[in-house]
Structures are given as structure tokens and as C-alpha cells.
Amino acid sequence: MNTDPIATTPVATKQTIARAEGLTKRYGTTVALDSVDLALGSGVTGLLGPNGAGKTTLIRMMTTSAPPTAGRITVLGREATGPSADRTEVRRLLGYLPQEVVFPRGMTCFGFVDYIAILKEWTDTARRHSEVRRVLDMVGLGDRTTKKIRTLSGGQRRRLALAQSFIGSPRLLVLDEPTTGLDPEQRASLRALLSEQGSGTAVLLATHQTEDVAALCERVIVMNAGRVRFDGTVAEFVGTATGRVWLADAALPGAEHSWRTGSGRVRSIGGRPGEGAEPAEPSVEDAYLLMLGTNARPTEEVAA
């Protein structure tokens, strides 16, 4: 397993929208985050890492849900880890989709998003209702406004949860596993939505789906054991796997991971190539598996 960070300096951004400096979180003797520094500018940044890497802890602090043990986070000059007034301002500036959403009982789609807009202090009723309809249309639920949430499919509920994060066209969007429960067509629609966000919006996309990072993100941050192990462009990240991915008739000796693909050949990540092994074009998933070694697992078996 590679334990040395590939990059620890935050990537330069066009305009810094959110910044973490020396961010540390301890739970007793457990260090969940260890002096994390990163800066987010406009565009979509993928956040990868195994369970327990510190991703959720980082997200909770960025969205003002939990305080750090040390360090700070600022969003457009307001301190997300600061006094109550600053945290309130940060909440007005961001949209957040948690991994798990609990919907109030008995609500309609419109009623739920309207409720979230009220919590965000949209006091003008006409303007608020117009915004609710806009974000429901964005996620393809404009024809479900009066439907009870309990009648929706799992994918529709996920899209409804996503709709509330778009209220007010936030400057910072924090999305935790947004494609969970979505079919391929819905995932493609979500990618289109996120790619169309304005140039002044920073999107942090925490996911286990490496294909979403490959399809959508300009930049990727990889975390493990509470630290940033890589921070750079997706192309740079994929480049770390160049010359280390192989196709052969059997698994290579010493490979980190191997699996038989739809073509019948075995794809090996790492290992010692022998006769008959052919180099394969690396992917985001390959680079991720190589970087984290046995802490990572393939997300899917792909044809090659």
C-alpha cells in the first residue's frame, strides 16, 4: 500500500470559494482528519477514499454540522468553523446533499422543497414558490409536485433530495454520493446538471463511483486515514497508473487486484508482467486501486 501523499499542496484555483487550513478532528485517540489543507474553486472536484478515510468528517465540517479540533474552513470569506453568525452565513451560501436523507412524513414533493426553502429564510412566498418549481424542474420532478413522497421510487427520492440542494443557485455545492439509487439515464442527467452549473460555483462530489469522477470532474482529491493522498487533475491522477495495468490470460504475480473481464482476459492492477501480458489503458479506478492498495476494492468488473 502506498502511504506517502502524492500531492499535499492545494491545487491553484481560479477563484477560491472554499478553503480548509490545518483541519484536524480527533475523537478521543482516533484521528479522523489530520491537518488537511485544500482549496476549492469553480468547477467539479471529485472526493474519493475508502470508508473511514475522513470524507464524511470533512463534509460535516464544511457544511457547519461539526466543529474541528483544530484548523478552520472558510467559504467566500465566512468561517464555517467560526462563530454562529458566520456559520449561518455559510449555510446561506451552500447547497448540501447528505448521503442519507430522512423525509418528513406525509409531505408532497413541493411541500418538502418549500419547507427547506423556508429554513433557508426565503420569506417572499411567490419568489420562494417559483424557486421550488425551478429546482423540481431541474431534476425532472416538475410533474410530481403534488405527489406524496412515500409514493416515489428510490431514484425519485434521491432526485428530490438533490433538488433542495440547488435552492438559490448556491456558490458551493457539497454532494455526498449523489448518484446512489439512480439508473444510468438518471446519472447521465445528473452529470449534465452539474456540468451546467455556473462558472462561479464550486461542486465537491464525494463518491465511490470512479466512473462519475472520470465523466464529470476536472480535479480529484483522494483521502485515506484522515489525510489527503492526492490532489490534482483527473488526467494527472490517471497518469499515476500508466504502465501498471495489464491484460493477460491469468492474474499477474504480485498484482494488487485482478479480475476476469467481459472479454475473457484478466485485468491486473500492478504486478509483474510476463509473456503474453499486454499494457492496458489505465482508468480512474485503476489509479485509485493502485494508490490505496488493499484498502480499496474494484467498484465493478468492466469489459476491456
Phi/psi for 198 (5° steps) reads -60, 160
**In b/e form, how buried is each residue of 152-176, taking b as 16+ CB within 10 angstroms?**
beebbbbbbbbbbbbbbebbbbbbb
Residue spans of the chain under pLDDT 50: 1-5, 8-9, 12-13, 298-304
How far, in Å, CA of 152 to CA of 257, rounded?
39
Residue spans per domain, the chain: 18-238, 240-295
**Which CATH number is 18-238 given?**
3.40.50.300
At 304 the pLDDT is 37
How far, in Å, CA of 153 to CA of 222, rounded?
32
Question: Angle CA(238)–CA(172)–CA(96) in degrees, nearest 5?
Answer: 95
Per the structure block, which three cell numbers stand in for 156? Answer: 425519485
pLDDT digits (tens, 9 = 90+) for 79-97: 998 899 999 999 988 999 9
The reported pTM is: 0.87
At 295 the pLDDT is 56
Bridge-based pairing state of the strands 94-97 and 172-176: parallel
Using the structure block, give the residue that is written with the C-alpha cell 479522523: 32
How far, in Å, CA of 141 to CA of 156, rounded?
8
Amino acid in the structure at residue 20: A
Closest CA to 35 of 66, 74, 7, 72: 72
At 299 the pLDDT is 45
> Three-class SS of residue 261?
coil
pLDDT digits (tens, 9 = 90+) for 96-153: 999 889 998 899 999 999 999 999 999 999 999 999 999 999 999 999 999 999 999 9
At 115 the pLDDT is 96
Closest CA to 20 of 240, 207, 233, 172: 172
How buried is 73 (Cβ within 10 angstroms: 0-12 exposed, 13-18 middle, 19+ buried)?
A: buried
At 5 the pLDDT is 47
